[in-house]
Structure 1
């Protein structure tokens, strides 16, 4: 299956399977279609250490390449607490537990789902 043939749901399945294979933890997939023009799916996963974060990102990229999907970009380096894979239709964030707890990306993107208004600090 090539990138041209893959649906967002299939990409999500490939990501989930690749993350499970490398033992990433606490995988969350957020459908952000209609909320941002930058991507349709945000996937957040935890690696147990900076070394595991790098291994997860590398392994997922390798698995996706086998399906003809190449990352458009990678941010972060081995030893980083956070590595991002830009896949176009999806963005994968792999983070240490400490970075994930600090940045709380799921909360940023799920505010509308919980019925709260994003006020941006206005009173």
Structure 2
């Protein structure tokens, strides 16, 4: 990985995380996926409390990345907004409602750790059985 590529990737991640924080995204997790796939280098997973917030979070990420000069390859899931995805090439951003995030548990699939919600207490939400 070249120094310029690493700097651009770090900037892309920072822009996306800031965009999520601006709209009060929760439990933001950044995963380095470069060892698992050559399709993208980083994945960000965040939660939104409602379909409206999930849509707003994904849209804000796409707009901010584009304004920073990064190309958005596609955005998916903005219609139902329980799970939205922004594909920016080397960065993929997933924004989900908490129950959907819990059910699919993509952090575990990609080797990351689940965020710690309440130490010593049950999670505030769980997937339906």
TM-score category by the smaller chain? 0.7 to 0.9
RMSD (CA atoms): 1.9
Q: TM-score with structure 1 length normalisation?
A: 0.81
- Residues 1:31 and 2:35 aligned together: no
Which residue of structure 2 aligns with residue 64 of structure 1?
65
Distance (Å, rounded) in 1 between the aligned partners of 2:70 and 2:25? 20
**1:60-99 residue pairs with structure 2 within 5 A?**
60-99=61-100
Q: TM-score with structure 2 length normalisation?
A: 0.78
Which residue of structure 1 aligns with residue 44 of structure 2?
43
Which residue of structure 1 aligns with residue 55 of structure 2?
54
C-alpha displacement at 1:77, in angstroms?
2.2
Moved over 3 A (4+): none
C-alpha displacement at 1:15, in angstroms?
1.1
Which residue of structure 2 aligns with residue 121 of structure 1?
none
Q: Per-residue CA shift, 1:67-87, capped at 9, x if unaligned?
A: 112310111123321011000
Instruction: Give the gaps of 5 or more residues in structure 1.
Output: 114-123
C-alpha displacement at 1:46, in angstroms?
0.3
